[in-house]
Amino acid sequence: MSAIEMRNIVKEYGDGFKAVNDVSLDIADGEFMILVGPSGCGKSTLLRMIVGLEDITSGDMLIGGDRVNEKAPRDRNLSMVFQNYALYPHLTVFENIAFPLRLMKGISEDEIKRRVSEAAGMLELNEHLDRKPANLSGGQRQRVAMGRAIVRQVNAFLFDEPLSNLDAKLRGQMRTEISRMQRRLGTTTVYVTHDQTEAMTLGDRVAVLRRGYLQQVASPRELYEQPVNMFVAGFIGSPPMNFMPAVVTGDRLKLPFLEVGLPSSAAGQVSDGQLLIAGMRPDHFEDARLLDPVKRERGAIFRARVDVTEWLGDSQYAYLPFESNPEVAKQLADLAAELDSEALRTQLIISIDAMSRLRENHEGEFWADTDRMHLFDPKTGINLTRDEAAAADLASLEQEELADRRGELAK
Amino acid sequence: MKASRSTQLFWIAGAILIILYALIPVFWIVSLSFKAGDDITNKQFLPTVWSWENYKTVFASDLFTTALRNSVGMSIIATTISVILATLAAYAISRLEFPGKRLVLGVALAITVFPVIAIATPLFNLWRTIGLYDTWLGLIIPYLSYSLPLSVYVLSAFFREIPWEMEQAAQVDGATAWQAFRRVIVPLAAPGVFTAAILTFFAVWNDFVFGITLTSSEAARPVPAALAFFQGASQFSQPTAPIAAAAVVVTIPVVILVLLFQRKIVAGLTNGAVKG
Ligand SMILES: Nc1ncnc2c1ncn2[C@@H]1O[C@H](COP(=O)(O)OP(=O)(O)O)[C@@H](O)[C@H]1O
Ligand SMILES: [Mg+2]
């Protein structure tokens, strides 16, 4: 188990393409770090530089305090689970898991047997040890790949989208499995994914990458509540944050459907008449009729026509179309393209109580929790309303949790 | 149902026809080899009396037994060297980026289509000068020069099919480049290695041109060349029947090899062909 530190890591491929740009990231001993971002943003490249399968163009990679830039993968003592598992098809499950041990000197056959069956037991693979990978199901193969990773004592585990080839149900199961395993072993873990749920549920902290640049590294909660920019805000959360044009008029802010007071945090940074982009999450809205009266105090009420509703049993979404400003519309279309989502129509997607009986194509009355709204600069995408104090609180909470867990393990 | 049955019959009949076409010459040789003395003029397909006489003649003749020893020895040596070198070379070609990589593959392909006879005569002169004429080594070298490029070609197609990640996984698991090659890549390329080995073995085993040009005595002469020097029981009788017996004897190892490795070869040939 070791900490991993990256200092100004750059990766330039042979064709001159810079896949990773000046990334500095500290991963604490025992921490579960998620690397997330749209496809092609350099997540795998970064992971492969940690493990040593890709040369580092410039910058320093430190594992457990030692610079490993020039070390071969086998000298870094890491283990990796590949996206398509990369199991050895000619070996049985037992031999696949035992493979790393067989390469180590001075391990007795008994010791190998013991360690393999321990790993296999943890992953419930014991009755499949004599089978070949080709005869296993996707989930079983995935577990064999994990078995191979955990069978020896390593500095860190690296995962490259390990669950992306599984169906939704199995993915959920394996997700909890991975989480449980990491908590139990307490091994530093770097986990690449582009899946929202995995990013939010698995990690202690999440590093968001965009075109090779690190955007924000924070706990899932901080990313969700205090994103540094529009990219992070739009990437984290599903359904995604709603973005609307907002025009500053004096000390007021004009949005589609409603008008609110200009948040004090943004006040100094904007000028009268300036166009901003307001971001509000679907769950910051509610059907006004089903609203808790306590909440009514702090938000704003507005009327809007409902285009479509989606009732999912435990939750419900309503789609409220609005007229957008062409400049903002273009900005949002660019962002949507970058986030791999369909070009968004200019509409609010809001999450309302499943009890609500709103009817499609009728007007309804809604409540918006405008205190939690974020304002972004449309040119730079910077979040003008990020609450640094709240963010610091969340960060220290996360630190405490990690320290707690380490304490538990030490016992 | 009816239509499908008649097409089935059509295919079966076709298959039988083709098999007969291929096998009748073989049966003919076998039948000839069992005809003793003047029985080959009996104007029948089968011998009047089945006799081992020709086989006895063949094995009693030094000409054949030494030639058989030469053939077996040289084929095994040439195949082994060729497969080992080709495996390493093909691995380098499929995995490493180096200048002139395409050239190497192109030249390899060009050599395989080069007519054998074109180098046999120059080699004859060269070998006589440097003393390789009529030696095993003098034959093994040209065998390698033909079988290596073909093996490299077949094997590099195989190596390309093995995902890079296999090797990278091995490296992360703690393997050196050599361990990854030996423990992961070679086993995965085994069908390719078998294919290359068998193709090489057949080519060397059946060689006639080098065998007849580059030898002058029993020291290195392989079976196909030796057959040309066979004599009949008397000076005046044609040695047809003993030659047939010898031909049957040298065909047997080939048949055994094919039967033994049938599944691997088929997997190998189709893999190489379809995916390569
Ligand atoms: N060997 C390579 N040569 C050139 N460019 C590459 C190479 N490998 C990846 N890239 C590029 O680097 C970028 C990042 O790739 P990758 O790290 O695989 O992204 P991700 O895993 O985030 O989807 C992509 O735009 C990809 O096209
Ligand atoms: Mg990737």
SS3 annotation, B196-222 = HHHHHHHHHHCCCHHHHHCCCCCCCCC
Q: Establish if B12 belongs to a structural domain.
A: no
Nearest ligand 1 atom to alpha carbon A20: 14
Number of domains in chain B: 1
Q: Do B172 and A84 touch (CB under 8 A)?
A: no
A43 Cα–ligand 2 center, Å: 6
Q: Do B171 and A73 touch (CB under 8 A)?
A: yes
Specify the residue with its C-alpha closest to ligand 1, atom 2: A13
Is A15's C-beta closer than 6 angstroms to any atom of ligand 1?
yes
pLDDT at B272 over 70: no
Q: Establish if B104 belongs to a structural domain.
A: yes
Q: Which of A78, A84, A99 sits opposite B165 (nearest CB)?
A: A84
User: Mutate which of A9, A11, A12, A13 to test ligand 1's pocket (most atoms within 8 Å of Cβ)?
Assistant: A13
- Clarify whether residues A135 and A249 are in a common domain: no
Q: Establish if A164 belongs to a structural domain.
A: yes
In angstroms, the Cα distances linking A248 to A272, A331, A333, A376, B246 are: 5, 18, 22, 12, 102
Q: Establish if A183 belongs to a structural domain.
A: yes
- Clarify whether residues A206 and A252 are in a common domain: no
Q: Establish if B97 belongs to a structural domain.
A: yes
- Clarify whether residues A170 and A271 are in a common domain: no
pLDDT at A294 over 90: no
Per-residue confidence band for B274, with pLDDT thresholds at 50, 70 and 90: very low
Nearest ligand 1 atom to alpha carbon A47: 17
- Clarify whether residues A154 and A67 are in a common domain: yes
Q: What is the structure's pLDDT at B276?
A: 27
Number of domains in chain A: 2
Asked if residues A2 and A155 have their Cβ atoms less than 8 Å apart, the reply is: yes
Asked if residues A282 and A239 have their Cβ atoms less than 8 Å apart, the reply is: yes
Is A43's C-beta closer than 6 angstroms to any atom of ligand 1?
yes
Q: Which of B172, B179, B188 sits opposite A90 (nearest CB)?
A: B188
- Clarify whether residues A191 and A44 are in a common domain: yes
Set of chain A residues whose Cβ sits within 8 Å of the Cβ of B166: 86, 88
- Clarify whether residues A89 and A153 are in a common domain: yes
Q: Do A53 and B175 touch (CB under 8 A)?
A: no
Query: Could you tell me the CATH number of the domain that includes residue B113?
Result: 1.10.3720.10
Buried b or exposed e, range A38-48, using 16+ CB within 10 angstroms: beebbbbbbbb
Tens of pLDDT along B26-79? 999 999 889 887 787 888 888 888 888 888 888 888 888 999 999 999 999 999
Ligand sitting nearest the alpha carbon of A35: 1
Q: Count the neighbouring beta carbons within 10 Å of the beta carbon of residue A196.
A: 16
Asked if residues B165 and B185 have their Cβ atoms less than 8 Å apart, the reply is: no
Domain with A269 in it = 240-385
pLDDT mean over B113-135: 89
| Residue showing tokens 């003008």 | A384
Rounded to whole angstroms, the Cα distance separating A334 from A393 reads: 33
Q: What is the structure's pLDDT at A253?
A: 92
Helix B116-130 to helix B136-161 angle (10° resolution) is 130
Tens of pLDDT along A239-272? 889 998 899 998 899 998 889 999 888 888 888 8
B81 Cα–ligand 2 center, Å: 41
Which of these three, A192, A225, A258, is where a domain ends?
A225
Is A16's C-beta closer than 6 angstroms to any atom of ligand 1?
no
Q: What is the structure's pLDDT at B273?
A: 36
Backbone angles phi, psi at A171, to 5 degrees: -60, -45
Both tokens of residue A135?
Answer: 């005869």
Q: Establish if B27 belongs to a structural domain.
A: no
Both tokens of residue A137?
Answer: 């199901």
Rounded to whole angstroms, the Cα distance separating A35 from A38 reads: 10
Query: Could you tell me the CATH number of the domain that includes residue A36?
Result: 3.40.50.300
pLDDT at A342 over 60: no
Tens of pLDDT along B213-252? 999 888 899 998 888 887 665 666 678 888 888 889 888 8
Whether A170 and chain B come into contact, CB under 8 Å, resolves to no
Q: Establish if A399 belongs to a structural domain.
A: no
Q: Establish if B45 belongs to a structural domain.
A: no
Question: Which among A47, A74, A91 is the top mutation candidate for probing chain B, defined by the most B β-carbons within 10 Å of its own β-carbon?
Answer: A74
- Clarify whether residues A219 and A250 are in a common domain: no
ipTM summary value? 0.84
Q: Which of B171, B172, B184 sits opposite A88 (nearest CB)?
A: B184
Give all strands (DSSP E) within chain B, no chain letters: none
Which of A249-255's residues contact partners 24+ apart within 8 Å by CB, and which partners?
A249/A273, A253/A278, A253/A375
Q: Establish if A163 belongs to a structural domain.
A: yes
Q: Which residues are within 5 Å of ligand 2 (an ion), measured at CB?
A: A 44
Rounded to whole angstroms, the Cα distance separating B58 from B239 reads: 10
- Clarify whether residues A120 and A264 are in a common domain: no
Per-residue confidence band for B275, with pLDDT thresholds at 50, 70 and 90: very low
Per-residue confidence band for B191, with pLDDT thresholds at 50, 70 and 90: confident
Closest chain A residue to B180 measured between Cα atoms? A103
Both tokens of residue B244?
Answer: 């047939």
pLDDT at B150 over 80: yes
- Clarify whether residues A272 and A196 are in a common domain: no
Of residues A292 and A54, the one with the higher pLDDT is: A54
Set of chain B residues whose Cβ sits within 8 Å of the Cβ of A84: 163, 165
Q: What is the structure's pLDDT at B227?
A: 84
Residue A251 contacts by C-beta under 8 Å, 6 or more apart in sequence? A261, A262, A267
On average, the pLDDT of chain A sits at 91
Q: Establish if B46 belongs to a structural domain.
A: no
Per-residue confidence band for A130, with pLDDT thresholds at 50, 70 and 90: very high
Question: Which among B161, B167, B172 is the top mutation candidate for probing chain A, defined by the most A β-carbons within 10 Å of its own β-carbon?
Answer: B172
Q: Do A103 and B172 touch (CB under 8 A)?
A: no
Domain with B168 in it = 51-275
Asked if residues A61 and A69 have their Cβ atoms less than 8 Å apart, the reply is: yes
Asked if residues B140 and B130 have their Cβ atoms less than 8 Å apart, the reply is: no
Share of chain A above pLDDT 90, in %: 67
User: Mutate which of A44, A209, A211 to test ligand 1's pocket (most atoms within 8 Å of Cβ)?
Assistant: A44
Q: Count the neighbouring beta carbons within 10 Å of the beta carbon of residue A110.
A: 8
Which of A257-261's residues contact partners 24+ apart within 8 Å by CB, and which partners?
A257/A302, A257/A303, A257/A304, A257/A320, A257/A322, A257/A348, A257/A366, A258/A300, A258/A301, A258/A302, A258/A368, A258/A370, A259/A300, A260/A300, A260/A370, A260/A373
pLDDT mean over A387-397: 91
A6 Cα–ligand 1 center, Å: 19
- Clarify whether residues A212 and A89 are in a common domain: yes
Q: Establish if A381 belongs to a structural domain.
A: yes
The helix or strand, by DSSP H or E, that contains position B68, with its residue range, turns out to be helix B62-95
Q: What is the structure's pLDDT at A268?
A: 84
- Clarify whether residues A107 and A197 are in a common domain: yes
List residues bridging with A303 in a β-sheet: A365
Q: Establish if B151 belongs to a structural domain.
A: yes
Give all strands (DSSP E) within A298-346, no chain letters: 300-305, 308-311, 316-321
Side chain identity at residue A47, one-letter code: L
The helix or strand, by DSSP H or E, that contains position A404, with its residue range, turns out to be helix A388-410
Whether A73 and chain B come into contact, CB under 8 Å, resolves to yes
Q: Establish if A398 belongs to a structural domain.
A: no
Q: Establish if B127 belongs to a structural domain.
A: yes
On average, the pLDDT of chain B sits at 86
pLDDT at B209 over 50: yes
Question: If you ran DSSP here, which 8-state letter would residue B272 be given?
Answer: I
Is A361's C-beta closer than 6 angstroms to any atom of ligand 1?
no
Per-residue confidence band for B271, with pLDDT thresholds at 50, 70 and 90: very low
Rounded to whole angstroms, the Cα distance separating B111 from B148 reads: 10
Is A41's C-beta closer than 6 angstroms to any atom of ligand 1?
yes
Q: Establish if A404 belongs to a structural domain.
A: no
DSSP symbols for A8-23: EEEEE-TTS-EEEEEE
Q: Establish if A410 belongs to a structural domain.
A: no
Strands A363-368 and A242-249: unpaired
Q: Which of A77, A79, A86 sits opposite B165 (nearest CB)?
A: A86
- Clarify whether residues A59 and A194 are in a common domain: yes
pLDDT at A393 over 80: yes
Comparing CA positions, the residue from A55, A88, A43 lying closest to residue A215 is A43
Q: What is the structure's pLDDT at A96?
A: 96
Question: Which among A90, A104, A105, A148 is the top mutation candidate for probing chain B, defined by the most B β-carbons within 10 Å of its own β-carbon?
Answer: A90
Rounded to whole angstroms, the Cα distance separating B77 from B84 reads: 11
Specify the residue with its C-alpha closest to ligand 1, atom 25: A40
CA distance A110 to chain B (A): 20
The helix or strand, by DSSP H or E, that contains position B152, with its residue range, turns out to be helix B136-161
Nearest ligand 1 atom to alpha carbon A15: 4
Handedness of CA A174, A178, A179, A183 (dihedral sign): positive
pLDDT mean over A212-218: 96
Q: Is A137 exposed, middle or buried (0-12, 13-18, 19+ CB in 10 A)?
A: exposed
Q: Which of A52, A78, A90 sits opposite B187 (nearest CB)?
A: A90
Comparing CA positions, the residue from B226, B215, B264 lying closest to residue B65 is B226
Q: What is the structure's pLDDT at B141?
A: 94
Question: Which among A44, A54, A80 is the top mutation candidate for probing chain B, defined by the most B β-carbons within 10 Å of its own β-carbon?
Answer: A80
Q: Count the neighbouring beta carbons within 10 Å of the beta carbon of residue B243.
A: 20
Tens of pLDDT along A163-207? 998 888 889 888 998 999 999 999 999 999 988 889 999 999 999
